[in-house]
Amino acid sequence: MDTYLLRCLSCGTRNRIPAANIGKTAKCGKCGSSVDTEILNTAHPLIVTDRNFQERIMQAPLPVLLDCWAPWCGPCQMMAPLMDQLAAEWKGRILVCKLNVDENPLTSDRFQIRSVPTLLIFDRGQLQNSLTGALPKHQIAQAMKNWL
């Protein structure tokens, strides 16, 4: 991919970032605010907690796929390698994250996570969709097609 789209956290404008500039600080074309492009290098799922939820999900400069899981859940364990694969494939376009529901009850309760695995899709800090159960890759990709 030659360019990536990264949302300015100040004004929400989507800025084109050339691949050669990933890792550098850019300036928003509309408001001039600094835009940290390092997030475009993230090729593995980011860990989300009750403490960092606001920063990692609600203020994310990219759309987010949040895997809500539990360590005792067999289907969650089956989904883990797929989440790693999607994070690598969607690097720079979608931020793949993981939330352990047992360790983060505030966020789990906030989004009424009653069964795991549950996938939550966020864009611009808004919940866009949720998917429940161990799903095949093509079904997750279909749900994410608007952001790919």
Which residues, including other chains, have CB under 8 Å from residue 118's CB and lie 6 or more apart? 68, 130, 131, 132
DSSP three-state, residue 140? helix
DSSP class per residue in 24-60: SEEE-TTT--EEE-GGGG--SPEEE-TTTHIIIIIT-
Catalytic residues: 73, 76
